[in-house]
Structure formats: C-alpha cells, structure tokens
Copies of this chain bind each other. A is one copy, B any other.
Amino acid sequence: MTGIATIVGGGVIGGGWAARFLLSGWDVRIFDPDPEAERKIEAVLGNARHALPMLYDTSLPPEGALSFHADLGEAVSGADWVQESVPERLDLKHRVLAQIEDAAAPDTLIGSSTSGFKPSELSAEFQHPERLLVAHPFNPVYLLPLVELVGGRDTTIARAKSVLTAIGMYPLHVRAEIDAHIADRLLEAVWREGLWLIRDGIATTQEIDDAIRFGFGLRWAQMGLFETYRIAGGEAGMAHFIAQFGPALKWPWTKLMDVPELTDGLTQTIADQSDVQSGHLSIRELERLRDDNLVAMMRALKGRDAAAGALLNAYEQALDPPAGGPAFRSIDRVIPIDWTDYNGHMNESRYGQVFSDAADAVMRHIGADQDYIEAGMSYFTVDIRVRFLNETRAGERIVVDSQVIEGARKKLRLFHRMLNEAGEVLATGDQLLIHVSLETRRSCLPEGRVAENLAALATAHAGLPQPDPSEML
C-alpha cells in the first residue's frame, strides 16, 4: 500500500515521518514556512537513507517523490495522510489543524505528532472532531517502530493502523485519552526523577545515563517493565512480586510520592493482565528468551564497540589468548546464539566467519595488527574453500588450529581445522590471502618484521602433516 503523505512541520519529527513514508514508496509533500526546512528535511533524510534500508535483508520499494509546497491547501489536497508536527503550543496546533481540516478531503487521515495534548483538546475547533487522531511517534521516527494512536473513530483507527503497518511501524492504540498518552508519561516520570538527582548533586547526566544503558535499558529494549518483573517474581508469580515490592511504594525511593493505593483488586488486575501477556510461557522459558535477546543485542553493540559492547571488548582484551594444538591455536570460543538458526545449529555462513576470525588471530600473531593496518598495510583474503564436515550448536565450545601452508613474498596460505571438544573436525578452510597496500588497494610486499614473523611461523609449521589435496583450493 502506498499513497500521498503530507507532512506539516518539517523538524526532526516531521522529517522522520517524511523519511518513513518516502522510503516505503509513498509520495511525500512537505509544508513548512521555515526557509531552512528543505535543508533540515534533507539532513534527516540523509540519516534515514543510511539507516532504515539496513534493517532489512531485502531491498525496500523505490522511493516515492518528494516535493516542497509553499501553500498548505495545495500540499494537503488529495493527500491520503496528513501529519502535523508543529511545536507543542496549543494555539499554534489549533490554527494549523483548522487549515488542514479545511483543505483535506473527507476521507483523509489527519494525524498529530503531539507528545502530550489529548485529541479532544486538539480537535476542539474541528467541524468533525472525530477526524483527528493523535499519531505520536518516537525519535528517530525512521527507525523506532512505536506510534501511539489516540482518538478518532474505530474505522479511522483501523485505517490508520493499516497505513502505519505498511510503512513498517507498530501502531499502539491508546484506548482512553490522557495527557502525554502512555510512553511519555513514563518518560516524564523518569525525567522528573532525573532532575531531582542532578539538582540534589547525587548524580551527573553521564552517571544517570550509565545507570540506564548498562542496566535496565538493555532489558527494556526487548521486554518491558511488567514482563521483566514477572521473571523477577519467579515461579511464585506476579502477585508475589508485587506483594514483595509493594511496601516500597510508601518509602521515599523516588521524590515522586503521588502513588496509587495498592489494593488487592489492583494487584489482581496486574497479575491477570500479566498472565494474559506472558502466561503461555514458563518463567524458565521467559528467562531463556530474555537472556538470548540480551546476548544478541550486547553482541551487536560489541560489534559497534558501543555502550555495553565496549565493556565486553575491554574485558575480552584481558582474557588469555587461545593456547594448544599442533599448529597455531587461533580460536577458542563457544558458539553464540546469534550465530545459530531457530533450531540452535550454527548457520553455515558462520563457519566462514570462524576462519576469518582465525586468520585475524594469525595476523595479530605475526604483527599485522591494528597498528600495521593504520600504517597502511594488511592482508586481504582473495580465495577460500570451506568444507563442512560436522554440525555444531549454540553453546558448544570450538577451537581452530591454523597452519601456514605458504608464507612468502605477497602470499599467505592458511589451512584451518575447526574442532569440537571431542576432537572431531567440524570444518576445514583453505584460505589464500594477499598482502596489500591500503592506500593503493594493490598487492605489495609485507614489511620486514611481519615478513620475518611469518617466515618463522611457516618454518615451524613445515613439518606438520599437510592437508589432503581434496580439502584444498
């Protein structure tokens, strides 16, 4: 499903909406009297074009057409969806929304990005108030799926959900209107508590951010507050958890002391809703889901050397390198969950990754390390043959022994054997690397020290049994 989306107000949020629609194949019209609007929108689009297509393992549809309009009526006329994202001032929103209602066809969906106003406040001056929906997204709009939908007729909500799903978002219908909807109420509570912590000199912005991103922030990227606490309650269940932490509501654990009374009825409501949400899974199953999600996300951050992932990399630096084996023991590790299919078997592509990592370990050993790369030289793989002999599973420990078959002038030929703890060969890799200048991207001779170390390793490996020709390139 594609169509025409009109974005009224082209800041970070409006630009994010524009990007979502455009990259999903919709035509997008922008109305914003700010002379800088085009530049600002292009900046957001640049970010979105970098990031959004990367989410998927197949290509997105061709981009729609983007146009800028000086006249609101022209921009709105014929649009399927009009999204208002002007600043959070009620008078301004009233004025802009009234003009949108005047210009829009009767079946046009009209959404407001307001963080906090209720639809009844926004549509107070509408001729047909039920036409207005709050459609509240989260920054960056082109990546985060959540949109809170509030207000409107049931039929309008249903149509809006179809559109939002078609542009890759997750519409959450907020059934009762309330200031700040759902997510921003939680955010506002944290913001207020955070302000107290800074005001009272307890913590800095950095310390508060670290307390979030190295702890519960990781949990909340995959399960929310209640499912997390259901797990914490353990087999005794959600009601037990609430009973245990209920007394803390009376304690000064935050400055925010306006608390609801924790009646038996409220406790039961929470326990019942939690059963509906998560009751089909045992606590052990929920723990395993949580842990596998955390491992996969933390490893993703490790690949970026960011946040908790940077901590993992720093820790790993201090671990002992692999040791043992007849040749060079390049790898000693377990198979992580993000390398496996839904049955827990290692994906075939990861065998190649293990051998690529093995070659990196040989590189570091001979001194073709990060410093060497920064000095402008490296080895590139030009050819590899991988033979798959046995399967392996999540959590299994493997080692790789890497043997130098040839190591002279520009060439490096490595033969890798991947073994499990029982000593079975899981796979072999015959890998040809060429020494290159990173400046010219062409082959060249390695520098003295690296050449010497490689020659020494080749000599040490010369007496080892050679692989069978049937295993080689």
Contacts and interface: CB of A to CB of B under 8 A. Distances in A.
A293 to B, nearest CB: 5
A424 interface: no
Interface in A190-205: 190-205
B195 A224 contact: no
Interface stretch (A26-34, A256-264, A407-415): A256-264
Copies in the complex: 2
Interface in A310-360: 311-312, 315-316, 318-322, 331-338, 342, 347-353, 355-357
Contacts of A215: 138, 144-146, 183
Contacts of A140: 287, 290-291, 294
A456 interface: no
Given A54-B334, A58-B332, A208 B225 contact: yes
Contact of A59 (B145, B220, B397): B397
Contact of A223 (B202, B209, B284): B209
Interface in A434-454: 441
Contacts of A248: 88, 116, 180, 188
A110 interface: no
A219 B223 CA distance: 13
Residue of A193, A293, A312 ringed by the most chain B CB atoms within 10 A: A193
The residue among A50, A215, A387, A391 with the most chain B CB atoms within 10 A of its own CB is A215
Given A178-B202, A182-B202, A252-B179, A299 B300 contact: yes
A276 interface: yes
A290 to B, nearest CB: 7
User: Max chain B CB contacts within 10 Å: which of A139, A180, A276?
Assistant: A139
A124 interface: no
A143 to B, nearest CB: 5
Interface string A51-62: 101111111110
A134 to B, nearest CB: 14
A300 B211 CA distance: 23
Interface string A11-50: 0100000000000000000000000000000010001011
A172 to B, nearest CB: 6
Interface size class of A (residues with CB under 8 A): 35 or more
A337 to B, nearest CB: 6
Contacts of A227: 205, 209
Given A139-B232, A220-B212, A266 B55 contact: no
A190 B214 CA distance: 18
B226 A205 contact: yes
A206 B60 contact: no
Given A144-B219, A223-B307, A301-B293, A186 B211 contact: yes
A89 B222 CA distance: 31
A129 interface: no
Interface in A279-313: 284, 287-308, 311-312
A274 interface: yes
A105 interface: no
A269 interface: yes
A212 B192 contact: no
Nearest to A387: B383
A59 B332 contact: yes
Given A189-B193, A383-B388, A208 B221 contact: no
Contacts of A288: 47, 50
A228 B183 CA distance: 15
A331 B179 CA distance: 46
B209 A213 contact: no
A184 interface: yes
Interface string A155-195: 00000000001101010101110111011111111111111
A266 B198 contact: yes
A96 interface: no
15 contacts: A56-B315, A57-B302, A58-B319, A60-B319, A140-B294, A178-B200, A183-B216, A191-B245, A198-B269, A217-B220, A296-B304, A299-B300, A305-B342, A352-B384, A385-B386
Given A176-B201, A205-B273, 18 more contacts: A54-B336, A54-B395, A57-B357, A88-B244, A143-B294, A144-B215, A180-B248, A182-B207, A182-B211, A186-B194, A188-B193, A195-B270, A196-B260, A222-B307, A256-B258, A297-B300, A304-B337, A385-B473
